[in-house]
């Protein structure tokens, strides 16, 4: 816990000015508030009996008391202002680091972690950290200063009774520490369950068509109810333990207050010589300080409950920040004047060391060639693309682009040399023009329109409410085919030296597909192209067709030569036209 807190506070270090101002305002504000019992005690001593009220002195004391209360309120407000700034700036930096980290972690981490879980950590967990810091900073500082200040004042009024108060204080700490330990475990489990619930809810909400089509509604509700029920049980348990802290410490503090009141009263009437003589005003002041002294323990115990929740959430965020990053390649060479030549030399790779996938894979691609990659599901087609773009690093062997080992060049320059259209469409929230120019910053509107026209997307874009200025998103009502056309126009605008097409026309009607195929032929002129195909009829004109099976090339050649061999490719091709 303390390691996590130290790490959280390291993010607050750049904003130490707010931290110092918080301390100053807390000291002044609490000090002013602590003078109130002194004036109240003096006021009581001004009213010692019937006809013995010193009204002039009482009025003076009232004015001084009012000034102290107003001054205390102003500094308490300033302390809260500084605390808010400190907490919000701290979690802002933490959230920025968490988001930036997701851009630097290997793709395998993103693949094995659900989107909902990542969203929960970057958004929800950091919000909980913010709440914990706000309450913690405000109440912890003022509480500690109040405890020290009241203790000093009580020592001046009656040293012996003050010692009794100090000796009874550990009872509050003991009660709070026992409950806090149980609270931490419950909040840690609650944070984990919150991530699972957010992930499941996002998964179901984002795939409602499939949920409805497979009549999964009731089962989805049952699964959510199960997760929600367990989350509720854990939440009740965590809340129970955290809510026990305050009443427990209040009970202990009540015992302390009663002991002080009894001893002080006996001292005031002279029945307890041990404590010494006290005036009624001194007793009033001492009881007020005793109450103020114990009150921060209740608040701090509540802070500990919030702090436990914040620490549990922080541990989940820091687990992301501690993930291994991709190696820094800023000092490596930049791929320039790419010819499009690609060579795989004895490449070995597997996602799971226990399950071998690509073994001793070799391939030599000449500049400008169109390479089709076909094979059954799971044979390694997409894996080759992942390795080519260094989404995953190979275990053994080499991959060369224009004669340069891809491990010796920067990832950005490598990936900017490829244009990629995947089977899964992706458009972000923004205008149509912004989506098309996503890979080429600063493109003119004329160039954007030309790219859209080349893939026959201009017509439907002009029919949108604001044309190219229409704001779209994944859920904006565009069809799958329309979104795919925008993705293809994006590549047309980039005009990279190499292309990767992963069944890029699968979501488009046949008429549009024929038009886009012609556009692709024009786009691929002079460019090295890798085409992952499921419909084998679309890759007849490829220069080389690679037939993969279990991560190995079992056949390669042109369409006509492979059909003559009457081997694995011929069986795959004929199976698509079998009646």
| pLDDT tens sequence across 43-59 | 777 776 666 677 777 78
Q: What are phi and psi of 420, to 5 degrees?
A: -125, 130
Q: pLDDT band for 434, please (50, 70, 90 cuts).
A: very high
Tokens of 313: 């959430």
Q: Is the predicted pLDDT of residue 569 greater than 70, yes or no?
A: yes
**304 close to 176: Cβ distance less than 8 angstroms:** yes
In this prediction, residues 79-100 reach a mean pLDDT of 87
Across-strand partners of 502? 532
In this prediction, residues 351-377 reach a mean pLDDT of 84
Q: Which of 14-23, 29-38, 505-514, 559-568 has the lowest mean pLDDT?
A: 505-514
Q: Which of 397-406, 435-444, 464-473, 521-530 has the lowest mean pLDDT?
A: 521-530
In this prediction, residues 430-455 reach a mean pLDDT of 89
Average pLDDT, the chain: 80
> In the prediction, which pLDDT does 579 show?
42
The SS3 of residue 530 is strand
β-bridge pairing 370-374 and 544-549:
parallel
% of the chain residues with pLDDT over 90: 6
Which residue, among 438, 418, 534, has the nearest Cα to 483 in the 3D structure? 438
Provide the residue ranges of all domains of the chain, joining segments of one domain with +.
2-193+239-321, 342-575
Q: Is the predicted pLDDT of residue 272 greater than 60, yes or no?
A: no
Across-strand partners of 344? 363, 399
Q: Is the predicted pLDDT of residue 134 greater than 70, yes or no?
A: no
Q: pLDDT band for 577, please (50, 70, 90 cuts).
A: low
For residue 130, CA distances in Å to 95, 191, 459 come to 10, 15, 49
In this prediction, residues 3-30 reach a mean pLDDT of 85
> In the prediction, which pLDDT does 467 show?
92
% of the chain residues with pLDDT over 70: 87
Task: Tell me which of 405 and 361 has the higher pLDDT.
Answer: 405
**503 close to 472: Cβ distance less than 8 angstroms:** no
> In the prediction, which pLDDT does 399 show?
92
Across-strand partners of 348? 396
Helix axes 126-157, 55-102, angle to 10 degrees: 150
In this prediction, residues 437-454 reach a mean pLDDT of 89
Q: Is the predicted pLDDT of residue 476 greater than 90, yes or no?
A: no
Question: Which helix (H) or strand (E) is 172 found in, with range?
Answer: helix 170-206
Radius of gyration, CA atoms only, the chain: 36
Q: Is the predicted pLDDT of residue 156 greater than 90, yes or no?
A: no
Which residue pairs from 355-364 have beta carbons closer than 8 angstroms and sit at least 24 positions apart in sequence? Answer: 356/551, 357/383, 357/550, 357/551, 358/383, 358/384, 358/387, 358/551, 358/552, 359/551, 359/552, 360/397, 360/552, 361/397, 361/551, 361/552, 361/553, 363/546, 363/553
Q: Which of 243-252, 266-275, 365-374 has the lowest mean pLDDT?
A: 266-275
Residues 2-193+239-321, CATH architecture: Up-down Bundle (1.20)
| pLDDT tens sequence across 164-204 | 777 777 776 676 666 666 676 777 777 778 777 877 777 77
Give every strand in the sheet of 498-502, ordered side by side: 418-421, 498-502, 528-532, 370-374, 544-549, 552-557
Q: Which of 304-308, 341-345, 394-398 has the lowest mean pLDDT?
A: 304-308
What is 342-575's CATH topology? Rossmann fold (3.40.50)
> In the prediction, which pLDDT does 46 show?
74
**316 close to 160: Cβ distance less than 8 angstroms:** no
For residue 141, CA distances in Å to 21, 98, 502 come to 12, 28, 59
**551 close to 361: Cβ distance less than 8 angstroms:** yes
Q: Is the predicted pLDDT of residue 433 greater than 90, yes or no?
A: yes
Give every strand in the sheet of 404-405, ordered side by side: 358-365, 342-349, 396-401, 404-405
Q: Is the pTM of this model over 0.95?
A: no
Q: Which of 117-126, 146-155, 199-208, 438-447 has the lowest mean pLDDT?
A: 199-208
Q: Could you tell me where the DSSP H helices lie in 350-421?
A: 381-388, 411-415
In this prediction, residues 9-34 reach a mean pLDDT of 85
In this prediction, residues 6-13 reach a mean pLDDT of 84
**487 close to 421: Cβ distance less than 8 angstroms:** yes
């Amino acid at each position: 816990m303390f390691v996590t807190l130290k790490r959280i506070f390291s993010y607050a270090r750049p904003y130490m000015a707010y931290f110092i101002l918080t301390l100053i305002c807390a000291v002044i504000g609490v000090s002013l508030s602590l003078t109130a019992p002194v004036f109240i005690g003096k006021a009581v001593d001004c009213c010692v009996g019937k006809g013995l009220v010193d009204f002039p002195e009482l009025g003076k004391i009232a004015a001084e008391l009012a000034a102290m209360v107003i001054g205390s309120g102003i500094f308490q407000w300033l302390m809260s202002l500084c605390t808010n700034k400190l907490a919000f700036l701290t979690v802002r930096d933490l959230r920025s680091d968490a988001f930036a980290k997701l851009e630097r972690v290997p793709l395998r981490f993103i693949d094995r972690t659900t989107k909902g879980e990542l969203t929960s950590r970057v958004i929800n967990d950091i919000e909980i950290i913010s709440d914990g810091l706000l309450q913690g900073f405000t109440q912890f500082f003022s509480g500690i200063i109040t405890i020290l200040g009241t203790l000093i004042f009580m020592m001046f009024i009656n040293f012996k009774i003050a010692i009794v108060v100090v000796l009874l204080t550990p009872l509050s700490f003991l009660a709070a520490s026992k409950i806090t330990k149980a609270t931490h475990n419950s909040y840690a489990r609650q944070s984990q369950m919150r991530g699972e619930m957010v992930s499941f809810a996002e998964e179901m909400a984002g795939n409602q068509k499939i949920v409805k089509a497979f009549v999964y509604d009731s089962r989805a509700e049952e699964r959510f109810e199960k997760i929600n029920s367990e989350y509720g049980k854990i939440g009740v348990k965590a809340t129970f333990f955290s809510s026990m802290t305050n009443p427990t410490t209040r009970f202990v503090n009540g015992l302390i207050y009663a002991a002080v009141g009894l001893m002080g009263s006996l001292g005031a009437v002279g029945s307890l010589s041990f404590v010494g003589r006290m005036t009624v005003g001194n007793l009033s002041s001492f009881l007020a300080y005793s109450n103020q002294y114990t009150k921060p323990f209740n608040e701090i115990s509540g802070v500990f409950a919030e702090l436990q929740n914040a620490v549990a959430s922080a541990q989940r965020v820091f687990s992301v920040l501690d993930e291994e990053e991709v190696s820094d390649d800023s000092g490596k060479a930049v791929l320039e004047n790419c010819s499009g030549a690609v060579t795989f030399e004895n490449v070995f790779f597997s996602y799971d060391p226990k399950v071998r996938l690509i073994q001793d894979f070799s391939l030599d691609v000449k500049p400008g060639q169109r390479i089709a990659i076909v094979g059954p599901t799971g044979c390694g087609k997409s894996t080759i693309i992942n390795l080519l773009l260094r989404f995953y690093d190979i275990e053994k062997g080499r991959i060369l682009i224009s004669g340069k080992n891809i491990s010796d060049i920067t990832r950005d320059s490598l990936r900017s040399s490829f244009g990629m259209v995947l089977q899964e469409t992706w458009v972000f929230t923004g205008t149509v023009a912004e989506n098309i120019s996503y890979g080429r910053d600063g493109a003119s509107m004329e160039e954007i329109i030309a790219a859209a026209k080349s893939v026959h997307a201009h017509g439907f874009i002009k029919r949108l409410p604001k044309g190219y200025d229409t704001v779209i998103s994944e859920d904006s009502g565009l069809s799958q085919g329309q979104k795919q056309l925008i993705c293809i126009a994006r590549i047309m605008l980039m005009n990279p030296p190499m292309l990767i097409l992963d069944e890029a026309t699968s979501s488009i009607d046949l008429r549009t597909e024929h038009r886009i195929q012609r556009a692709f032929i024009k786009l691929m002129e002079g460019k090295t192209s890798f085409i992952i195909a499921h419909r084998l009829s679309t890759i007849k004109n490829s220069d080389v067709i690679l037939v993969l099976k279990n991560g190995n090339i079992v056949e390669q050649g042109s369409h006509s030569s492979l059909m003559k061999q009457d081997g694995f490719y011929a069986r795959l091709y004929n199976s698509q036209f079998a009646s």
